[in-house]
Amino acid sequence: MAMLSEFREFAVKGNVVDLAVGVIIGAAFGKIVDSLVGDLIMPVVGALFGKLEFSGMFLVLGPVPAGTAMTLDTLKKAGVPVLAYGNFITVAVNFVLLAFVVFLMVKQINRLRREPPAAPPPASPPEDVMLLREIRDSMRRP
């Protein structure tokens, strides 16, 4: 029973809720980055290197059964060992972009979190002013 109450206490802490929100937003953000890489960046990169789609680039490592189309999906379904380096390039570029965007976000958040420099403490009055105040205060007392 103690373990259950300890788990409940852990689950309702603010950090766990923040983590859950972060994971959900991260998953949605990952889809945006996937689309950015797959739909906008990789076609441009592919056009520069002469291929329009990196994910279709592969190297066949074994014998291909007769009548099997030479596409990545059909070769994988046929059980042919295939080195899909184009898919790896796409995923690697996706990761680099995601890491860069997260870096920019954290940098921006840290910049916003920095506390402005504290105002300098007021300068203490000169000693003669302090002495005059003490004399004044002592004269007011009956």
Per residue in 116-134, pLDDT tens? 777 777 788 888 988 888 8
Per residue in 74-127, pLDDT tens? 888 888 898 888 888 878 877 887 788 778 878 888 888 777 777 777 788 888
CATH number of 2-115: 1.10.1200.120, 3.40.50.720, 1.10.3720.10, 1.20.58.100? 1.10.1200.120
Q: How close are the terminal C-alpha atoms of the chain, in Å?
A: 70
CA 106/CA 135 separation, integer angstroms = 57
Spatial neighbors of 60 by CB under 8 A, at least 6 apart, are 70, 75, 80, 81, 82
